[in-house]
Amino acid sequence: MNAFLLGILSSLITSALLLALSLLRASRPLWWLTAACSWFTGTGLRRVYRRQSAAERSMSQDLVRARWVKVMAGRGNILTREAFAPLWSGDSTPASVQILLPDPDTPDDSWLDRRCQDVARFDPGFTPALLRSQVRANINYLAQAARSQRNIRLHSYNLPHTCRVIATDKVAYLTFYSDNAHGRNSPCLYARAPGLLYTIALQQFDTAWANSTTTPTTSPS
């Protein structure tokens, strides 16, 4: 009898552990656990997306509600996708939109070239001039998208490519770049204000902005 009861008890314990593990593998229970730890530590971290592309739906919702927006990207492809469509369509009208993209016209051996060399190690289709041309294409896209809006400012920077920052007055999406994966395949941290990570994201952006140059957002005639 005792062996029988122990067998049932061990089965129940095993089932409970499997259920807990399955719940923790789901996104929302993990987010709740992350938010609870964040509140205790003061980091402000609320979610961790395994890939930054998975954050775009939530990002679009935050952009619609934003009073201001700050973006520092290593290439700027996100600016041409659905997440940022509310800004270009006029559905979202923040008082200020500041955008930082790498300077595609820097001399050879710039930080842009060094990032291109990193990507070429794991992506054989990445030629030395490809990243520059992609940044130029995104700048041209912004010039067209921002042609009727005066609240958008675009600057260029020549600094190490360490992270992507997308921040509003309430939240920040922070992706740290690695030398063995595209940014879209890297984890994305979602932080709310106030908090340590939110503050770090703004510091990263403001430092780069202070060392950047103005890029016109008017389409060529």
**1 belongs to a structural domain:** no
CATH code: domain of residue 86: 3.30.870.10
Identify which of 47, 40, 3, 12 has the alpha carbon closest to the alpha carbon of residue 175.
47
Kindly give the confidence (pLDDT) of every residue in the chain, 221 residues in length, as a single tens digit, with 9 standing for 90 and above: 444 444 434 444 443 433 344 434 445 545 444 444 555 455 778 888 888 888 999 999 999 999 999 999 999 999 999 999 988 888 788 999 999 999 999 887 788 888 888 888 888 888 878 889 999 999 999 988 877 777 899 999 999 888 999 999 999 999 988 777 777 778 899 999 988 889 999 999 999 999 999 987 654 44
Q: What is the 3-state secondary structure (H, E, C) of 56-96?
A: HHHHHHHHHHCCEEEEECCCCHHHHCHHHHHHHHCCCCCCE
Answer whether 0.75 is exceeded by the pTM: yes
Classify residue 13: in a domain, yes or no: no
Contact in structure between 111 and 103 (CB atoms under 8 Å): no
- The answer as to whether 44 is a domain residue is yes
Is 60 a domain residue?
A: yes
Q: Is residue 8 part of a domain?
A: no
Domain enclosing residue 39, as ranges: 27-215
Residue 19 placed within a domain = no
Is the residue at 20 inside a domain? no
Tell me whether strands 152-157 and 213-215 are parallel, antiparallel or unpaired: antiparallel
Q: Is 51 exposed, middle or buried (0-12, 13-18, 19+ CB in 10 A)?
A: middle
Residue 184 lies inside a defined structural domain of this protein: yes
**Number of domains into which the chain is organized:** 1
